[in-house]
Amino acid sequence: MTRTDCRHTWFRFSKRLAPVIGASVLCAMALPVAAQPSDGRLQTLGSGQWLCGWPGDAWDASFRPDPARQFEVTGNATYSTAAGSGTYLRTGDSVVFTSGPLQSLRFQVEGNRLRQSGTGAGEKPLICHRRAGGDPRRQWAPTG
């Protein structure tokens, strides 16, 4: 085989291999992005008291507090309620309570408000608002 034949063979081989290498590089670049949830940065909720309840309707109060669901974010992805304390995980705009009295509740973050996700058809989602300030005499003061 002459030197010209070798070059010709390599040229034909590289023409077939180039798309495979290109596709492999693109797949490798996309893997880290595909493995992460969208905007999946670990974050925490704003510290302080969160008031939770059910949305009302036109014939009732606009908000019906649920004292069993009130919680206080105490820092480092931990919270406490009257029934005990636990932890939560916030990734991007999603919050999952991973232990404690509120374990397995899932929410979407909307500013200073949480809206329960995964509710069934026709069910009203639980909504939580972070209490403005720290005055315990204030019953209801949505900030978001």
If one compares 34 and 75, the residue with the highest pLDDT of the two is: 75
pLDDT for position 108: 96
Q: How many angstroms separate the Cα of 30 from the Cα of each of 18, 24, 36, 38, 59? A: 18, 10, 10, 13, 51
Domain 42-130 indexed as CATH 2.40.128: yes
**Per-position DSSP letters for 123-139, written without gaps between them:** PPPPEEEEPSSS-TT-S
- At 11-36, the pLDDT tens digits run 565 566 555 455 554 444 444 444 44
Distance CA 73, CA 49 (A): 6
